[in-house]
């Protein structure tokens, strides 16, 4: 049976739709809830633009930001445990934690890549401090990812549009990429991941795509349709993207298709102002670092 609305009902329904558009009904993610108390606690540490976040095996959150004490180690509530980096890190960009809980920071101000211990002791510094395309040089490197046997990759970056591969001792053993739009070419490689099979995922930011290569740098496939500022895996192996251009966080399926969009532009909890990089902890909670928002948001995974 077809049910018709009366004139009064139609007006009321239209008014409700205008007041509460469909997008508002979908604003709350069914799986994740923002925890504003965490963002507020981090904000009390006088952070600058927040560029990246990582989580170590103890569940401690490592924040890279562009202010005093540029590397901060936080507990699950956002309390400050320790910090370092003044006088060393000029402009923090990416941060990753390896299997030994060492902290790796890319510095686009000094054109360097640093490895620190969990306590903040400098263990390795790559680069000369000047921009360049030589054997030991970077031009605003953006991210680090870890392969097998201690090998690691660096996306380099704003100036050189290439990916570099190093062995465990920090010796460069390979590179690929030039500026362009073709396979194996990049326009600002901005984020990196290595999957369980050893494939290297490169967030090719200004080409609005992720390119996938094997460990020998052979092109495998490409995922189009978003601006991959930051990349992270969840516990299921799904790739998540911080798309700062759309001010959203995206979940991808195994074929690189977007299956979830979180947030919109704004400063409220669950909204984003230039989400730059992101990470998950062992419990499945999501952390998102915002440059223009100058905050680190935590999204708690809801119980099933």
Is residue 156 one of the residues assigned to a domain?
yes
Is the residue at 197 inside a domain?
yes
Examine the pLDDT at 141 and tell me if it is beyond 70: yes
The answer to whether position 20 is within a domain reads no
Q: How confident is the model at residue 16 (pLDDT cuts 50, 70, 90)?
A: very low
Give the residue among 179, 100, 107, 98 at the shortest CA–CA distance from 143.
107
Confidence of residue 19 (pLDDT cuts 50, 70, 90): very low
Residue with tokens 């409220």: 268
Q: What is the dihedral of CA 244, 74, 88, 113, to 10 degrees?
A: -50
pLDDT band at residue 304 using 50, 70 and 90 as cut-offs: low
Cα–Cα separations (whole angstroms), residue 21 to 30, 184, 262: 18, 42, 17
Classify residue 3: in a domain, yes or no.
Answer: no
Q: Tokens in use for 246?
A: 């759309």
pLDDT of amino acid 5: 38
Evaluate if residue 17 carries a pLDDT over 60: no
- 91: in domain: yes
How many other CB atoms are there within 10 angstroms of residue 50's CB atom? 31
What are the φ and ψ backbone dihedral angles of 15, each rounded to 5 degrees? -65, -40
Indicate whether 120 belongs to any domain: yes
What pLDDT is attached to residue 303?
Answer: 78
Q: CB neighbours (10 Å) of residue 60?
A: 18
The reported pTM is 0.90
Q: What percent of the chain has pLDDT over 90?
A: 89
- Number of domains composing the chain: 1
Quick check: helix, strand or coil at residue 47? coil
111 is a domain residue: yes
Is the model's pLDDT at 22 over the cut of 60? no
Percent of the chain with pLDDT strictly greater than 70: 90
pLDDT band for position 29 (cuts 50, 70, 90): confident
Q: What is the pLDDT of residues 164-216, one digit of tens each?
A: 999 999 999 999 999 999 999 999 999 999 999 999 999 999 999 999 999 99
- Residue 244 placed within a domain: yes
Residue 217 sits in which domain range? 32-301
What's the CATH code of the domain at 253? 2.120.10.30
């Amino acid at each position: 049976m077809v049910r018709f609305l009366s004139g009064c009902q139609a007006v009321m329904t239209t008014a409700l739709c205008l007041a509460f558009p469909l997008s508002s009904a979908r604003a709350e993610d069914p799986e994740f809830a923002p925890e504003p108390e965490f963002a507020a606690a981090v904000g009390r540490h006088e952070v600058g633009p927040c560029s990246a976040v990582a989580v170590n095996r103890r569940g401690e959150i490592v924040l890279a930001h562009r202010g005093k004490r540029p590397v901060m180690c936080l507990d699950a509530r956002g309390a400050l445990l320790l910090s370092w980096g003044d006088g060393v890190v000029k402009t923090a960009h990416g941060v990753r934690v390896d299997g030994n809980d060492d902290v790796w920071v890319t510095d686009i101000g000094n054109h360097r890549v640093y490895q620190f211990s969990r306590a903040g002791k400098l263990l390795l510094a790559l680069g000369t401090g000047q921009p360049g395309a030589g054997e030991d040089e970077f031009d605003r490197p953006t991210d680090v990812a870890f392969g097998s046997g201690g090998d690691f990759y660096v996306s380099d970056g704003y100036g050189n549009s290439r990916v570099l591969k190093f062995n465990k001792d920090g010796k460069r053993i390979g590179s690929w990429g030039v500026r362009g739009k073709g396979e194996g070419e990049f326009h600002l490689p901005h984020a990196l991941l290595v999957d369980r099979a050893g494939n290297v995922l490169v967030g090719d930011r200004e080409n609005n795509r992720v390119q996938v290569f094997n460990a020998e740098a052979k092109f495998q496939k490409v995922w189009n349709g978003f601006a991959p500022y930051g990349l992270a895996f969840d516990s299921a192996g799904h790739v998540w993207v911080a798309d700062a251009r759309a001010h959203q966080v995206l979940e991808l399926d195994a074929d690189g298709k977007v299956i979830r969009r979180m947030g919109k532009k704004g400063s409220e909890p669950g909204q984003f102002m230039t989400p730059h990089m992101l990470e998950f902890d062992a419990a499945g909670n999501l952390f998102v670092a915002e440059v223009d928002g100058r905050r680190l948001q935590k999204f708690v995974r809801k119980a099933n």
